[in-house]
């Protein structure tokens, strides 16, 4: 067991790293963050901030020397960096897991090989493969870059096969997956912690509402049949065991209009749809991340209240600083801001949660608060 007082390392200094750092600090750990941005949200509160490239040999040396264990808060850390660190200290989740989840093609093949369904897809390396894929799948499609996509970036909707070539070029002529657009009834996610010895503890299933392919809202408990929620937890657990996973892992699912459950993607880290755990569970996903990577027993994931989480994107700053007063006067609303200096459209600046015994009432309130946050340019 890695006990309080020890230094934990994080690759990536965004909001997920920041909330991990806060949880680790609460428990008495020290944290070192590697992120090239000198103003990174996690770096600014960490005990040590190495602002260097993820491939910087000196920074990796410093990190390996200082830390008992190293984790990641985003999946696009170069695989070589993790392999390098793994020869010198514990990296959880492993370099192998990160390499797999960095690449949509490898990830989807792995999911299917594990026996679990995804939306129908084809791998597209070039134009002949693209036209073959368009012949095999029925439109509309979503074309996604195989690597480096997030929050809907690096993907495009294709309504008509005639537009496929243009979309492939627009994404940079690189390896992509062409996916059939699924008739989604609902999106859900399962966040779990898996310990070094293979014990799995799942948080309650979350229901996710996306706007423009970016998470907008999470509702818990998810409004799904208990059998489907159970099935999603079983599928996520199957994937975590198959990966011999250690740490926090999130699995996103689509529930189709035909009531099929399809795996969308795996995130090898805490997840935006798990932020509700900070305000509504006995243990948050970030405390659980600390516990899992340190070899501590899992904390209880029990939900204490129905809750709605709403993301605050940079768009909300368009006409000035949001009207925080409209949120803060609600005693059941919880504001979380990530300390980012510049608000850009689509950038995750923070989130808020609304807790109430009745989920439908919480949803009405959360929507109402959200609608009052942005400034009217005429005022
Ligand atoms: P990202 O890595 O950007 O989160 P996702 O593959 O999760 O990429 O896609 C983002 C969102 O776009 C999904 O949550 C979903 O709302 C929508 N989406 C993605 N793929 C499909 C699909 N095959 N059919 C329907 N909607 C999709
Ligand atoms: Mg996603």
Q: What is the pLDDT of residues 160-169, one digit of tens each?
A: 989 999 999 9
User: Which backbone phi and psi does 188 adopt, to 5 degrees?
Assistant: -135, 165
pLDDT (0 to 100) of residue 47: 98
Rounded CA separation 59/85 (Å):
11
Beta bridge partners of 248: 193
b (16+ CB within 10 A) / e for 91-106 = bbbbbebbbbbbbbbe
In tens, the pLDDT along 291-332 reads: 999 999 999 999 999 999 999 999 999 999 999 999 999 999
With a Cβ cut-off of 6 Å, ligand 1 is lined by 119, 142, 144, 149-152, 179, 181-182, 184, 187, 210, 213, 252, 264-265
Instruction: Compute, in angstroms, the gap from residue 152 CA to the centroid of ligand 2.
Output: 7
Ligand 1 mutation pick, 254, 256, 261, max ligand atoms within 8 A of CB? 254
Is the bond preceding 140 in cis, omega lying within 30 degrees of 0? Answer: yes
Which whole number is the average pLDDT over 220-232? Answer: 98
Q: What percent of the chain has pLDDT over 70?
A: 99
pLDDT at 148: 86
Whether 353 and 280 have beta carbons less than 8 Å apart is answered as yes
Residue found by looking up tokens 């070029």 in the block? 169
Going by C-alpha positions, the residue among 277, 202, 210, 257 that lies closest to residue 232 is 202
Q: What is the mean pLDDT of residues 28-51?
A: 97
Helix, strand or coil for residue 352? Answer: strand
Separation between Cα atoms, residue 350 and residue 287, nearest integer Å: 19
Q: What is the pLDDT of residues 242-284, one digit of tens each?
A: 999 999 999 999 999 999 999 999 999 999 999 999 999 999 9
Q: DSSP class of residue 303?
A: B
**Three-state secondary structure along 197-237?**
CCCEEECCCEEEEEECCEEEEEEECCCCCHHHHHHHHHHHH
Q: Which residue minimizes the CA distance to atom 14 of ligand 1?
A: 213
Query: What distance in angstroms lies between residue 40's CA and the mean position of ligand 1's atoms?
Result: 27
Mean pLDDT estimate for the chain: 96
Question: Which of 152, 206, 258 for a ligand 1 pocket mutation test, highest count of atoms within 8 Å of Cβ?
Answer: 152
Residue 376 has pLDDT above 80, yes or no: no
CA of 151 to the centre of ligand 1 (A): 9
Tell me how far the alpha carbon of residue 1 lies from the centroid of ligand 1, in angstroms. 38
Q: Which ligand is nearest to the CA of 144?
A: 1
Ligand at minimal distance from the CA of 185 is: 1
Distance, in Å, from the CA atom of 203 to the CA atom of 28, rounded to the nearest integer, reads: 24
| Minimum-distance ligand 1 atom for the alpha carbon of 179 | 23
Protein residue whose Cα sits closest to atom 10 of ligand 1: 213
Summarize the confidence of residues 77-103 as an average pLDDT: 94
At 377, is the pLDDT very low, low, confident or very high (cuts 50, 70, 90)? low
Task: Give CA–CA dist 91/78, Å, rounded.
Answer: 14
Which residue owns the Cα nearest ligand 1 atom 8? 152
pLDDT-based confidence at 207, cuts 50/70/90? very high
% pLDDT > 90, the chain: 95
Minimum CA distance residue for ligand 1 atom 22: 181
pLDDT exceeds cutoff 60 at 379 = no
Residue 378 has pLDDT above 70, yes or no: no
- Please report the atom of ligand 1 found closest to the CA of residue 154: 3
Q: Across residues 100-124, what is the average pLDDT? A: 97
**Separation CA 217–CA 100 (nearest Å):** 28
Between the CA of 316 and the centroid of ligand 1 the distance, in Å, is: 23
Please report the pLDDT score of residue 298 as a whole number.
98
């Amino acid at each position: 067991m890695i006990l309080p007082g020890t230094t934990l390392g994080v690759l990536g200094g965004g909001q997920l790293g920041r909330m991990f750092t806060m949880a680790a600090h609460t428990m008495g750990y020290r944290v070192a963050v590697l992120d090239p941005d000198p103003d990174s949200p996690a770096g600014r509160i960490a005990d040590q901030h190495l602002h260097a490239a993820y491939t910087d040999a000196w920074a990796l040396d410093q990190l390996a020397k200082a830390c008992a264990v190293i984790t990641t808060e985003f999946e696009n850390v170069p695989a070589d960096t993790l392999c390098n660190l793994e020869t010198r200290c514990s990296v959880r989740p492993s370099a192998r897991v990160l390499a797999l989840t960095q690449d949509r093609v490898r990830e989807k093949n792995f999911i299917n090989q594990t026996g679990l369904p995804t939306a129908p897809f084809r791998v597209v390396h070039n134009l002949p493969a693209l036209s073959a894929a368009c012949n095999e799948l029925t439109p509309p499609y979503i074309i996604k870059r195989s690597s480096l996509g997030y929050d809907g970036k690096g993907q495009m909707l294709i309504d008509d096969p005639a537009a496929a070539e243009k979309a492939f070029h627009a994404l940079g002529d690189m390896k992509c997956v062409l996916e059939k657009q699924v008739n989604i009834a609902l999106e859900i996610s399962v966040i779990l912690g898996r310990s070094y010895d293979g014990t799995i503890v799942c948080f309650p299933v979350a229901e996710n509402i996306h706007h423009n392919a970016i998470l907008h809202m999470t509702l818990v408990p998810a409004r799904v049949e208990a059998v489907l929620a159970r099935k999603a937890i079983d599928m996520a657990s199957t994937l975590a065991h198959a990966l011999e996973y250690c740490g926090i892992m999130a699995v996103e699912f689509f529930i189709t209009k035909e009531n099929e459950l399809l795996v969308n993607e795996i995130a090898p880290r805490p997840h935006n749809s798990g932020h509700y755990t900070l305000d509504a569970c006995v243990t948050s996903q970030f405390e659980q991340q600390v516990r899992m990577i340190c070899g501590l027993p899992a904390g209880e994931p029990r939900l204490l209240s129905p809750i709605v989480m709403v993301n605050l994107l940079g768009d909300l700053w368009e006409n000035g600083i949001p009207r925080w007063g409209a949120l803060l006067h609600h005693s059941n609303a919880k504001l979380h801001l990530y300390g980012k200096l510049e608000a850009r459209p689509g950038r995750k600046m923070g989130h808020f949660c609304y807790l109430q015994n009745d989920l439908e009432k919480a949803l009405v309130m959360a929507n109402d608060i959200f609608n009052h946050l942005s400034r009217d340019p005429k005022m």
